[in-house]
Amino acid sequence: MDYAGKVAWITGASSGIGAALARELAARGAHVILSGRDEARLAEVAADCGETLLLPFDVRDDAALAEATAKAIGWKGHVDIAFANAGISQRSRALKTDMQVYRDIIAVDLTAQIAFTQGLIGHMAERGSGALGFISSIAGKVGVPMRTAYCAAKFGLAGYADALRGELSQTGVTVHTIYPGSVATNVSRNALTADGAQRGKSDPAIDNGIPADVAARQMLDDIAAGTREIIVAEGGEKAMGELRRTPDALFDQVANMVANGYMEKLEAAQ
């Protein structure tokens, strides 16, 4: 994929991986649409990205999402690439964690990202082209202690992406699930604790992790190469992700099922 001239929409674009993706996409000639809750921080990212469209909103607000989707498509007439990136992490034991923490993390990291995607797939499928990038996590491949809500959401996002990849396999729309390990962002500081409060401090592993701009370059290079599962990690985290990597042959098997009428047969039987 050549990113020059493409329109890319990123949620969670005000910092971290989202901001790094925006800057790297702009450097490769893409037009970027930036979404997040903090318009001032989005504007700071936009200052590095040339011509941009800012669409600030809360991803949990369905009406705001629908309005933003219409504006995103209307800006240049299409959206070529979408990154479901917005998310909140967690640092608390399951035995001590309020149920509301689970609801809040799943609402942002899973349900809202599905809603974001559902608003775009019809547009992309009708055009016969597009790419969807889902920012999961190594914690979406391997259950990691102190992150039960986060793991549930990120595993769920990966499952949605895998099923969607099969459904869209004959449309020209590609689906890429991205599994970052420790990337140097504010993810630990912004993580929720057992009572839903923001943690406010980082982890050494995150502080010493892969620079966000380096991670973004790998993600975009791998999407351009057509890689369906993208593991962005080092050391033990990379080894864990690779142990759980889905074989390409399995993705091909599901795509072949769809090509041979699997969905139509199920619909006819209903």
> What digits encode the pLDDT tens for the residues 251-261?
999 999 999 99
Task: Catalytic residue, from 3, 102, 150, 179: name it.
Answer: 150
pLDDT at 76: 98
Q: In sequence order, which residues have a C-beta less than 8 Å from that of residue 169 and are 6 or more positions away? A: 254, 255, 258, 259
Other Cβ atoms less than 10 A from the Cβ of 197: the count is: 11
Is 160 marked active-site? no
Q: Is 225 left (phi over 0), alpha (psi -120 to 50) or beta?
A: alpha
Q: In sequence order, which residues have a C-beta less than 8 Å from that of residue 42 and are 6 or more positions away? A: 13, 14, 34, 35, 36, 54, 56
Residue pLDDT, tens place only, 13-53: 999 999 999 999 999 999 999 999 999 999 999 999 999 99
Q: In sequence order, which residues have a C-beta less than 8 Å from that of residue 67 and are 6 or more positions away? A: 57
Most distant pair of Cα atoms in the chain: their distance: 54
Which run of H or E residues covers position 148?
helix 148-167
Measure CA 184 to chain center.
17
pLDDT at 1: 82
At 8 the three-state DSSP class reads strand
Other Cβ atoms less than 10 A from the Cβ of 225: the count is: 10
Q: Tokens representing 14?
A: 């005000």
Q: Tokens representing 55?
A: 């669409």
Mean pLDDT of the chain: 97
CA-based radius of gyration for the chain: 18
Q: Tokens representing 254?
A: 């599901």
Q: For the chain, which ranges sit under pLDDT 70?
A: none
pTM, two decimals, is 0.97
* 8 Å CB contact between 212 and 17: yes
